[in-house]
C-alpha cells in the first residue's frame, strides 16, 4: 500500500499536539520524504500541469499546521528571514533549493539593526527535506522551474516575522497581514 496524502496528514497530526506547542520536526521531515517518493502524489500536486504559485493542500483545524505546494516558474533568492514563532519543513520535489542558516551576532537592543553571520549552507535535492524551528534565521535560493512542499506550524502571514539585510546590517519586522506577505517574500 502506498503512502498517500491522508497518511501524511495523519502522521503530521500525530507529530504535533493540539495547539501546536509541542512538535516533532524530525518525524515530519521523515514523513515529507516518504510522501515525496509517491509518484502519484508528486504528479497530482507538482506535475507539469500544476498551476504556478503557492497552494494550500491542507490546513489543520485542530493543530493549525499547513501543507503548501510551491510551484515556481521563476527562481528567486530570499533574504535571510525567520518564520517568527512558527517552524517550517521544506521538502524538495523538482530541481533543488539551496539553504543557508544564520546566527544573529548582536543582542537586538538597537531597533532596526542586526548583524548576522552565515553558519551553514546545503542543498536539498528531490526527495530530501529539512527544517527550521521557530525564530531560526535562514534563506533559500530557488532556481527556475523548482517545485517544493512546505509544511508550516501555522499561516505565516498571521505572525510577526523578521527579514534581514546582511549588507546594511538591518532587520525589518513584517507584521500580520491579509495580503499573505511574509519575511521570506515568496
Q: 182 in a domain, yes or no?
A: no
* Cβ neighbours for 172, distance < 8 A, ≥ 6 positions apart: 112, 162, 163, 164, 165, 183
Polymer length in residues for the chain: 186
Q: 147 in a domain, yes or no?
A: yes
| Contact between residue 23 and residue 82 where contact means Cβ atoms under 8 Å apart | no
pLDDT per residue of the chain (186 residues) written in tens, 0 to 9: 799 999 999 999 999 998 777 899 999 999 999 999 999 999 999 999 999 999 999 999 999 999 999 999 999 999 999 999 999 999 999 999 999 999 999 999 999 999 999 999 999 999 999 999 999 999 999 999 999 999 999 998 889 999 999 999 999 998 887 665 555 554
Q: 33 in a domain, yes or no?
A: yes
Alpha-carbon gap, residue 160 to 173, rounded angstroms: 7
Q: 167 in a domain, yes or no?
A: no
Q: 60 in a domain, yes or no?
A: yes
CATH number of the domain enclosing 43: 2.60.120.10
| Contact between residue 138 and residue 80 where contact means Cβ atoms under 8 Å apart | yes
pLDDT score recorded for residue 6: 97
Please give the grid coordinates belonging to residue 60. 489543520
Q: 163 in a domain, yes or no?
A: no
Q: 113 in a domain, yes or no?
A: no
Alpha-carbon gap, residue 33 to 28, rounded angstroms: 9
How many domains would you assign to the chain? 1
Domain with 74 in it: 5-104+120-157
Q: 38 in a domain, yes or no?
A: yes
Instruction: Tell me the β-bridge partners of 104.
Output: 116
Amino acid at each position: 500500500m502506498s503512502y498517500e496524502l491522508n497518511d501524511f496528514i495523519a502522521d503530521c497530526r500525530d507529530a504535533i499536539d493540539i495547539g501546536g506547542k509541542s512538535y516533532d520536526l524530525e518525524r515530519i521531515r521523515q514523513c515529507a520524504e516518504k510522501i515525496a517518493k509517491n509518484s502519484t502524489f508528486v504528479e497530482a500536486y507538482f506535475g507539469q500541469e500544476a498551476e504556478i504559485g503557492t497552494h494550500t493542500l491542507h490546513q489543520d483545524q485542530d493543530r493549525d499546521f499547513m501543507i503548501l505546494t510551491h510551484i515556481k516558474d521563476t527562481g528567486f533568492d530570499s533574504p535571510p528571514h525567520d518564520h517568527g514563532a512558527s517552524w517550517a519543513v521544506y521538502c524538495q520535489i523538482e530541481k533543488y533549493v539551496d539553504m543557508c542558516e544564520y546566527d544573529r551576532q548582536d543582542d537586538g537592543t538597537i531597533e532596526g539593526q542586526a548583524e548576522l553571520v552565515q553558519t551553514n549552507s546545503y542543498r536539498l535535492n528531490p526527495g530530501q527535506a529539512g527544517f527550521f524551528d521557530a525564530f531560526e534565521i535562514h534563506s533559500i535560493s530557488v532556481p527556475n522551474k523548482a517545485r517544493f512542499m512546505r509544511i508550516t506550524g501555522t499561516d505565516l502571514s498571521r505572525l510577526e516575522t523578521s527579514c534581514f539585510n546582511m549588507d546594511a546590517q538591518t532587520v525589518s519586522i513584517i507584521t500580520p497581514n491579509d495580503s499573505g506577505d511574509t519575511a521570506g517574500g515568496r
